[in-house]
Copies of this chain bind each other. A is one copy, B any other.
């Protein structure tokens, strides 16, 4: 079995990747000021999932799960806010 430290590193790396994977969408929305291609169902389901993962992390007192899913949730909320903002025509 590998050490606890390596296990934590793998968990953090996993979380960083899943969080980073949200960045292209965020950057695209900011650059194009358009968000029609993103389904709100996808965004809110993902947010619910991330919230549950954070709860799960606390129940397991598992730092990688807590920290990285909080980071993903923050990015996801930013995408949701911008999606809603840019969905309506500019006033």
Contact = CB atoms under 8 A, between A and B. Distances in A.
Interface of A: 1-2, 7, 10-11, 13-25, 28, 37, 39, 41-43, 45-46, 48-53, 55-56, 59-60, 62, 64-65
A17 B42 contact: no
Given A10-B52, A37-B37, A52-B14, A46 B60 contact: no
The A interface, classified by DSSP as helix, strand, loop or mixed, is: helix
Given A7-B56, A10-B52, 6 more contacts: A1-B59, A15-B53, A17-B46, A18-B49, A21-B42, A21-B46
A14 B48 CA distance: 7
A23 to B, nearest CB: 8
